[in-house]
Amino acid sequence: MGNFFKQVYYISWADLMFMKHNFWNILIMTVMSPLLYLIAFGYGLRTGTSDIGVPYVAFVIPGIVALSSLSSSFASTSTRMNVQRLYYKSFDEMMMCPLSTSAIVFGKCMLGLIRGLLGCSLMYALGMVLEPEYISFNVLVVASILMSCMVFSMLGMTAALLAKSHQSMATFNSLIILPMNFLCGTFFSVDSLNPIFQAILYCLPLTHASQCIRSAALPDYLDFTWLSFAALFIFGLAFYVINYHLLKTRKV
Question: Is 100 or 189 the residue whose CB approaches other proteins more closely?
Answer: 100
Q: Is 97 among the residues that bind other proteins (CB under 8 A)?
A: yes
Binding to other proteins (CB under 8 A): which residues in 20-39? 21-22
Q: Is 218 among the residues that bind other proteins (CB under 8 A)?
A: no
Give residues with Cβ within 8 angstroms of 192, minimum separation 6. 51
Question: Is 43 or 87 the residue whose CB approaches other proteins more closely?
Answer: 87
Region binding other proteins by CB under 8 A among candidate stretches 4-12, 23-31, 157-165, 205-213: 4-12
Binding to other proteins (CB under 8 A): which residues in 100-129? 100
CA 187 to chain CA mean position, Å: 16
Q: Is 10 among the residues that bind other proteins (CB under 8 A)?
A: yes
Region binding other proteins by CB under 8 A among candidate stretches 2-10, 24-32, 42-50, 64-72: 2-10
Residue 84 C-beta: closest distance to other proteins, Å:
7
**Which of 2, 28, 167, 251 contacts other proteins by CB under 8 A?**
251
CA 216 to chain CA mean position, Å: 16
**Which of 39, 44, 49, 92 contacts other proteins by CB under 8 A?**
92
Q: Is 13 among the residues that bind other proteins (CB under 8 A)?
A: yes
**x/- map, 62-91, other proteins, by CB under 8 A:** ---------------------xx---xxx-
Residue 218 C-beta: closest distance to other proteins, Å:
40
Give residues with Cβ within 8 angstroms of 116, minimum separation 6. 68, 69, 72, 73, 76, 145, 148, 149, 152, 153
Count residues near other proteins (CB under 8 A): 28
**Which of 99, 122, 146, 193 contacts other proteins by CB under 8 A?**
99
Q: Is 96 among the residues that bind other proteins (CB under 8 A)?
A: yes
The interaxial angle of helices 101-130 and 226-248, nearest 10 deg, is: 150
Q: Is the dihedral of CA 162, 120, 19, 25 positive or negative?
A: positive
Closest CA to 111 of 173, 19, 25: 19
How far is residue 155's CA from residue 139's CA, in Å, rounded to a whole number? 24
How far is residue 170's CA from residue 163's CA, in Å, rounded to a whole number? 9
How far is residue 194's CA from residue 152's CA, in Å, rounded to a whole number? 26
How far is residue 155's CA from residue 23's CA, in Å, rounded to a whole number? 23
Question: Is 14 or 193 the residue whose CB approaches other proteins more closely?
Answer: 14
Other residues' Cβ atoms within 10 Å of the Cβ of residue 200: 13
Residues lying near other proteins in the complex (CB under 8 A) are found at 3, 6-7, 10-11, 13-14, 17-18, 21-22, 83-84, 88-90, 92-100, 249-251
